[in-house]
Every structure is written in structure tokens, then in C-alpha cells.
Structure 1
Amino acid sequence: MKKQITLLAAIFALWSTGYAQAPQEPMRLSLQESINYALQHRASLQAARNEEKIAKARVGEIRSAGLPQLNATVDAGDNFIQQQSFLPSEFFQNQDNPPPLGTFVPVTFAPAYTSNATITGSQLLFDGTYLIGLKAASTYTELSRKNTQRSEIEVAEQVSKAYYSVLVNSERMQLLTQNLVRLDTLLSQTSTMYENGVAEKLDVDRLSVQRNNLLVEQQKTQRLMAISENLLKFQMGLNQAQPVLLVDELAEVEIDMSQVYPQDFDYANRIEFSILETQRDLASFQVQADKAGYLPKLFLNARYGYNAASNEFRDITRTGNYLEYGFVGVQLQLPIFDGLRKHYLIQQSKLALENTKLGFETLRQSIDMELAQASTELTNALDVLDARKANMVLAEEIARVAKIKFQEGVGTNLEVVSAETDLREAQTNYYAAMYDALIAKVNLSRATGTLHSK
């Protein structure tokens, strides 16, 4: 009975610490699903969207300056040291003791206690800088939206490359497993031949060495597979503990040849070009806003309130002792001289606008170079891929023939080992070329602005 209780306690302990939990189901993902998940869950994109919301809030802050501004103030105080003023002594004629002429007498006008309750309001009627700011508000929001789109494109690029890395490593893993099965079969057959006196011990040893090398390569590929999966999860914003299962298959790299060295490329397809256009518009608005600083400003102001004053505190606590007052009027502010501040501001904004315009030519040259480089890399990668594929097919045939010759006694075991080594090298080179071609395809899509277009 004690043993049963101890066993139940151990099972409960394991369950309570999480060891009895069922493993998570793998998440099935295509490339597009991986990108969509990243667009929703990647922390950097969430931060970019928050910046977009901040930009919209700043636009609201700018607009608020043109709305009515209302404030209420209530204050009460004790003039514990009452301010005094001076009046000429002639105001205080005393027949019995006349004061000297030309002297002043200190007089207290301020009461001991004062109180005031006021509501003030103002409305901007005209401000050229504010009007330009309203025009630039929508452009500022558009710039923030485009920055978010650029971040989305970068995430789509990173996820695509990580996804292809997992696919290539997975395919290599399957191929290594097949090679290992084939080599195990050959080793078993050779061992039988050795036992029957048909093969030598050296033949068995060579195949054993080959098998050990293949096992090491399989383990290395398995570790690379785990690293590439972790990188994909990181790029997606997925929990590292969540297993994934990629549903896309590694097929031949297909490419729209019209994208390679495009003749009628539209620079507006690139988000960087669109962002620079928006920055140019904002720089232009800044020049207009600085120039508008020379225009007058017109405000409508109003005040309404009550005040009370007395030498007794209880008097200012009674509403009947408060006096009503009000004011309404307009205020015109005319800029006359500010030490040439606006003049230098305009100089700065004009130069900033000119620099933005100069950036278009630099960006065009950069895009042209990127297009040419991506096109060349993809063309070279496809050529290498074709050659590596042909080499792999040829190596497979050589390995097959070498095995048959050895089994029939007309070939040597050394030929088999050499053929297997060449086959593995050809397979490794083929999948490396496949990965390079896929990455070159992603780079070209990014260069042409078609990687993640909305």
C-alpha cells in the first residue's frame, strides 16, 4: 500500500511540475501565412503602428490650437504685507499741522483680503502658420503610414529568407536520411560478402567510416535545422516553444524574367522613393510656415468673473460682496522685429528642402545599382543552380553504377566510397545553390518593390 501511495505521489508531482503536460501541436505554416502572422505579431511592427498612432495624435494636437481655449481661475489671498503708494502731501491738508510742501505721504489702497473668480476664453481667428500646419497635418500622417509600410516590407523579407532556410535544411535532412539508409544497406551487403569471403575487411571499414561521416553530417544538419526554425520563429514574433510545420515544398526557383533588368521600372514602386516624396512635401510646407511667420495674428479674447475685497476674511466668503465684471475684444499681433530669427529659419527650411530634392537623384542611382546587382545575382544563381543540379544527377548515376559494379565483382569498394563522397558533395552544393537562388529572388522582389505591395 505504501508503494502505491508513493507512486501516486510521484505521478502527481510530475504532473504538477508540467512533465505530464501534452506536447503542443505544431503550427502548420505556408510562406504567406508566416508573413501574415509576422505582420500581426512582430513586436517591431507593433511599435511602428504605435508610432503611426502617435503621429495621428500629434496632428490632433496641432488642430487643437485652432479651437476655442477656455480656462477658469479661482483665487483668494491674504495681503499680509499690504502694498502702499505715495500721494502728495497737499492731499492731506491739516490746518493745525500743515505738512511741508513737496513731500509725499504713504497710503495703503490694497485691502487685507482679496478674492477673484474668472473665466477666460480665446479663439484664434487668423494665423498663417497654423493654416499651413493644417495642410501639412495629413502629409505628416501619410509619412508615418509609409514608414510602417516600409517596416512591413522589411519583415516580409526577413521572414521569407528564414522560411526558405528552413525548407532547404529540411530537404537536406531528408536527403541525408535517404543516403544513410542506402549506405546502411550497402554496408550490410558488404559485411555479408566479407563473411562469405567475397569482400575484404578493408571494404567494410571504408563503408563504416563513410557511415560515421554521414551520421556526423546528419547531426550537424539537424542542429542547423533547429537554429533556422528558431530564427523563423523570431522573425515571425512566434514563441520559441511553439513547434512549426512548414507546408510549402521546395520546388524549382521560378522567376518572372521581366523583373530581371527591367527596362520600364517605375521608381514609385519603391517605398523609399514614396517616403522621400512625402518628406519633400513636408519640407515645402515648412518653408511656407516659416514665411507665414511674418503675417499678423488675430485673436478673439473674452473674460468674465467676480471679485471681492475686504479687510475682514469673512466678507470675501459671502457671495453678496462679489462684484461682476466682463470683457470681450480682439487682439492683433503684428511682428515687427525679432532679431532676424524668422529670416534664418526660412534659410534653414529652404536648404532642407533643397537637400530633400537632391536626395531623389541619389536614391534613383541607388535603386538602379540595387536592381542591377539583384538581377545579376539572380542570373548567376540560376546558372549555378542548373549546373549543380546536373552535377547531382550525374553523381547519383555514378554512385548507382559504382555500387552495381562492386556487387558484381567488377568494381572496387574504393570506387563506391569515392562515388558516395562525390554524391554528398554534389547534393550539398545543389541545396546551397538552391538557397542562394531563393535569396536572390527575394532580393530582386525587394529591389523591384513587389515583395510586399498593398
Structure 2
Amino acid sequence: MNRNLQLMRQSKIMVFTACDKHNRVAVKLFVNSFFLLCPFFLLGQSMGKDSLLQEVTLKSAVDYAIVHQPQIQQSIIDQQILETTIRSKLADWYPQINFNYNLQHNFIVQTAIIGGNAIKLGVNNTSAGQFTVSQAIFNKDVLLASRTKTDARLQARQLTSNNKIELAADVSKAFYDVLSTEQQIKVSTTNIQRIEQSLKDAFNQYKAGIADKIDYKRATITLNNSKAAKRSNEELLKAKLENLKTLMGYPLSASLNIVYDSLQMEKEIALDTSQEANYTARIEYQLLETQRRLLQYNVQYNKWSYLPTISANGAYNLSYQNNNFAKIYSNNFPNSFAALTLGFPIFQGGKRKAALQAAQLELERNSLDIINLKNSVNSAYTQAMAVYKSNLENFQALKQNLVLAKEVYDVLQLQYKSGIKAYLEVITSETDLRTAEINYYASLYQLMASKIDVQKALGQIVY
């Protein structure tokens, strides 16, 4: 940055030196404008680069998704919409002041017979201005908005939190899925290198007359299968990376540089299996509790419908009347009033009673939702923990298998080169090693994914 500024200052000096006296003012304006706008261009470029991740770890992938995923952004916008709706509803508590204006020309003035005489009721031209003010004293709609605003905001935040939790779990699983496929490609690459070396050894032994051509043909078949498996996984990796980008809200044209530490991951597989499910820690339960309070307010709201609506209001009216349109505003006959209005619906065909019953039934249904959630959380936790324990046992067994497969392959490879073992045994051990490596990494990522499910069931993923 400092070097760029020095070059800009040098350029500025060169420009002034090269220009004649007549053009220096214009050039000075141009250069100064350039210096003023340059930081914004640099800032824009910096922000564009910063929006991409240089290295994608699990944490950075989740953090990026929480900020950039459209669904989360929509949830935040929903919170903002709710805030404006609350302000709109609560505005009815304030005095409502209005002004109305009217200008009217009567082509035929109304006439009435009074005492046997025909008398015109009015003039040819009238104009009126009305200032009105009203203040709600009791209004069930405004009262409901006032009492539910806190829980309504809480519910909006909880919905956003729930979406973040679901997104974090999905991104984590997609991340592990990508890692699993990448590891399979790396295993295939290493496997291909080993087979190519074995193929070379088998061919040399065939040329030397030590072995027949079956050995190197078998090696060729195994090599072709490994290359095909690698190409297949490479295509699958593209789709899985695109899925991860979509979940993260990451630019589709940008690349993801996945970074991870298998040893560190192994250290993080441990989980306290003695924990018990606590459905009150789940965001779903908290949402239902908030919904329950809102439904209780709704029941109260429908009970308020039996009460009258009370408001205070007043008006000041300007009344201009004149038969001569040019002098219409020369005569004013104002009037004003203040009033207390009470509105009481006497009979609505059972509408209020039906609405109250519906609100009470919704509240009862919410209670059943809480019971159902409690049962489902316990079931989900039991299932997630069973899968985790199963994957843990499988991982430990496959880890041991990997060590044994590597030892067997190394021994058979030496024995084959010494002419003790047949090449078929080398191929078999190599296949076992490749399978053991793939299964080991696949089991590791399955174990981490199942750990995510357990933590989610326990309500330990919090945003």
C-alpha cells in the first residue's frame, strides 16, 4: 500500500511538470479526485477478496454459512419485518391527527319548505377544512400488539437460531462428506502409484523369465480398476463441493480449499455417552413455549372482544360559504367538538364465541405438540447415540485393520520380490490395504457426522 501511494505521488509530480500553466488547474482537480476515490476502489477490491475463504476449515465453513446463506439472511429480514410491524401496530396507541379539505360547488342548492315558504338550505359554493384528533383508550388489537411484542421478537430470534442450527449441522455433514471423497481420491492416487510400481516389477520379472505374463496382466487389470474408481470419485467430489457451496452460500464460481487435520479430528471423536436427553434444551421446545404464550395472549384477545371499544376524539371544522366563488374564503363559520366514543357489538351471529373456542383449541394443540416433541427428542437421541456407538466400534476396528493391512502388504511385497510369494497374494494384500484405508477414513467421517446428530439431539449446538 505504501509503495502504491509513493508511485501515485511521483505520478502526480510528473503530471504537473509536464503540463503547461493553462492546464494545471484541470489536471490538479483530476489528480485530487483520483486520490479521493482511490481508497474506495482499493476498499472494494479488498472486500471482494475478503468475502472468499483462503482456507476452508469446518469452523470457517459454518461461520461463513451463518453469515452468507440466503435462508439465514431471510430470517434476519423477517426479524426486521416483524420490528416494523410491531411499530406499526403500536403507533395506534398515539393520538391520531388528521386533516381533511373539501371544495364544493352546488349547481342546484337544496330547497326545503319551512312554514309554507321555500327556503334554500345553503349557498352555491362551500369549502371546509377539518382537523380531527382521536385517542384509543381501549382497543383489543392495540392491546394485543403491546402485550405480545416481547414474545413475538423472541420467537423471530428463535426461528433464526433454529435455522442456524439446522444449517450448521448440514454444513458439517456436507464438509465431512467432501473429506471422505477427497480421502478416497488420495487413497486411489497412492494405490495407483503402488500398482504402477508393482506392474513395473512384474513386467521386469516376466522379461527376465522369472514369472509368466499373468502377473503383470493382473496388475494391469487392477491398475485400470483403480483409475476408474479415482475418476468416479473425482466426479462425485465436484457434485459434493457444489452442494457444500450451496449450503454455505459460497460463490459457485469460486474454489474451496478444504483444510483439515485427521489427527486432530481423531482427538475430537470422544463424546460423553452417559448424557441423558433434555428436551428443554432444544430450540424446538423453546419455540413451542414461546408459541404457547402467544396462543394464551390470543385466547385473552378473543375474550376482550366482549368488551367495548373506547376512544376519545375531537374535531375543529372550518366552514366557508359564499354564493360568489371569488369570495368563498371571505366568510368562515367554524365549529368544533370533543366526544367520547364507546362501541359495543351486541350480536355477531356467534362469531366471537367460535373465535374464542378456536383459540382455546390451538392452545390445547400446542400442549400436545410439546408432549410429542418430548417423545421424539428422546427417540432421536437414543437413535443418534446408538448410531454413534456403532460407528465408534466400527472406527476402532477399521483403524486396527488398517495397521494390519499395511503390515501384510509390506511383508508380501518383500516376499514377492524375493520370489517367495506369488503375485496374486500381493494384489490381494494391496486390495485389502486400499479397502482398509478407504473404510478407515469413511468410518472417521461417519463417526464425526453421527457425533453432530448426538449434539443436535442434546441441544448442544447453539446459535
TM-score bracket for the superposition, by shorter chain length: 0.7 to 0.9
Residue matched to 2:146: 134
Change in CA separation of 1:442 and 1:232 when aligned onto 2, cut-off 3 Å: same
Separation (CA, whole Å) in 2 of partners of 1:219 and 1:413: 26
Residue matched to 2:130: 118
Residue matched to 1:91: 116
Amino acid at match of 2:259: V
Change in CA separation of 1:25 and 1:363 when aligned onto 2, cut-off 3 Å: closer
Distance apart, 1:261 and its partner CA: 5.6
Q: Among 63, 79, 84, which residue is 1:52 paired with?
A: 79
The answer to whether 1:209 aligns with 2:221 is yes
Could you tell me whether the CA contact under 8 Å between 2:269 and 2:448 is conserved in 1? no
The answer to whether 1:349 aligns with 2:349 is no
- Listed one character per residue, the Cα deviations across residues 78-116 of structure 1 (whole Å, up to 9, x for unaligned) are 2234334344xx534xxxxxxxxxxxxx65313222110
Amino acid at match of 1:166: V
Separation (CA, whole Å) in 2 of partners of 1:194 and 1:82: 123
Separation (CA, whole Å) in 2 of partners of 1:63 and 1:433: 56
Q: Among 418, 423, 445, which residue is 1:413 paired with?
A: 423
Distance apart, 1:337 and its partner CA: 2.9
Separation (CA, whole Å) in 1 of partners of 2:459 and 2:252: 31
Could you tell me whether the CA contact under 8 Å between 2:69 and 2:249 is conserved in 1? yes
Amino acid at match of 1:397: E
Q: Among 252, 269, 285, which residue is 2:266 paired with?
A: 252
TM value normalised by structure 2: 0.84
Q: Name the SS for the 1:450 alignment partner.
A: coil
Q: What does 1:327-346 align with in structure 2 at a 5 Å threshold?
A: 327-346=337-356
Separation (CA, whole Å) in 1 of partners of 2:426 and 2:269: 38
Q: Name the SS for the 1:262 alignment partner.
A: coil
Distance apart, 1:26 and its partner CA: 6.7
Q: What does 1:229-268 align with in structure 2 at a 5 Å threshold?
A: 229-250=241-262, 251-252=265-266, 254-258=268-272, 260=273, 262-263=275-276, 265-268=277-280
Separation (CA, whole Å) in 2 of partners of 1:239 and 1:344: 52
Could you tell me whether the CA contact under 8 Å between 1:375 and 1:444 is conserved in 2? yes
Separation (CA, whole Å) in 2 of partners of 1:303 and 1:26: 64
Q: Among 443, 450, 458, which residue is 1:448 paired with?
A: 458
Distance apart, 1:184 and its partner CA: 1.7
Distance apart, 1:424 and its partner CA: 2.2
Change in CA separation of 1:185 and 1:235 when aligned onto 2, cut-off 3 Å: same
Aligned-residue CA RMSD in angstroms? Answer: 2.0
Separation (CA, whole Å) in 2 of partners of 1:256 and 1:426: 22
The worse-fitting range, judged by mean Cα deviation, of 367-376 and 415-424 is: 415-424
Amino acid at match of 1:66: W
The answer to whether 1:147 aligns with 2:148 is no
Amino acid at match of 2:296: S
Could you tell me whether the CA contact under 8 Å between 2:269 and 2:447 is conserved in 1? no
Q: How many residues align?
A: 411
Separation (CA, whole Å) in 2 of partners of 1:227 and 1:39: 22
Q: Name the SS for the 1:246 alignment partner.
A: coil
Q: Name the SS for the 1:71 alignment partner.
A: strand
Could you tell me whether the CA contact under 8 Å between 1:49 and 1:148 is conserved in 2? yes
Could you tell me whether the CA contact under 8 Å between 1:26 and 1:243 is conserved in 2? no
Separation (CA, whole Å) in 1 of partners of 2:142 and 2:381: 42
Could you tell me whether the CA contact under 8 Å between 1:193 and 1:199 is conserved in 2? yes
The worse-fitting range, judged by mean Cα deviation, of 180-189 and 329-338 is: 329-338
> Which of 1 and 2 has greater Rg?
1
Residue matched to 2:58: 31
Change in CA separation of 1:255 and 1:268 when aligned onto 2, cut-off 3 Å: farther
Q: Among 397, 405, 416, which residue is 1:395 paired with?
A: 405
Could you tell me whether the CA contact under 8 Å between 1:261 and 1:371 is conserved in 2? no
Change in CA separation of 1:138 and 1:25 when aligned onto 2, cut-off 3 Å: closer
Separation (CA, whole Å) in 1 of partners of 2:257 and 2:173: 16
Residue matched to 2:393: 383
Amino acid at match of 2:165: I
Amino acid at match of 2:244: L
Structure 2 gaps, min length 5: 1-50
The worse-fitting range, judged by mean Cα deviation, of 265-274 and 245-254 is: 245-254
Distance apart, 1:127 and its partner CA: 3.1
Q: Name the SS for the 2:127 alignment partner.
A: strand
Could you tell me whether the CA contact under 8 Å between 1:27 and 1:243 is conserved in 2? no
Distance apart, 1:35 and its partner CA: 0.8
- Listed one character per residue, the Cα deviations across residues 49-74 of structure 1 (whole Å, up to 9, x for unaligned) are 11111111111122111111111111
Q: What does 1:302-313 align with in structure 2 at a 5 Å threshold?
A: 302-313=314-325
Q: Among 41, 65, 70, which residue is 1:43 paired with?
A: 70
Could you tell me whether the CA contact under 8 Å between 1:129 and 1:293 is conserved in 2? no
- Listed one character per residue, the Cα deviations across residues 16-58 of structure 1 (whole Å, up to 9, x for unaligned) are xxxxxxxx99721221111111111101111111111111111
Could you tell me whether the CA contact under 8 Å between 1:276 and 1:360 is conserved in 2? yes
Q: Among 432, 441, 444, which residue is 1:431 paired with?
A: 441
TM value normalised by structure 1: 0.85
Could you tell me whether the CA contact under 8 Å between 1:261 and 1:375 is conserved in 2? no
Residue matched to 2:31: none
Separation (CA, whole Å) in 1 of partners of 2:226 and 2:254: 29
Separation (CA, whole Å) in 1 of partners of 2:388 and 2:162: 23
The answer to whether 1:274 aligns with 2:299 is no
Distance apart, 1:230 and its partner CA: 1.6
Alignment identity in percent?
Answer: 28
Residue matched to 2:13: none
Residue matched to 1:219: 231
Residue matched to 1:19: none
Distance apart, 1:396 and its partner CA: 2.2
Q: Among 432, 443, 446, which residue is 1:422 paired with?
A: 432
Q: Name the SS for the 1:396 alignment partner.
A: helix
Q: Name the SS for the 2:421 alignment partner.
A: coil
The answer to whether 1:200 aligns with 2:226 is no
- Listed one character per residue, the Cα deviations across residues 177-200 of structure 1 (whole Å, up to 9, x for unaligned) are 222222222222222222222222
Residue matched to 2:333: 323
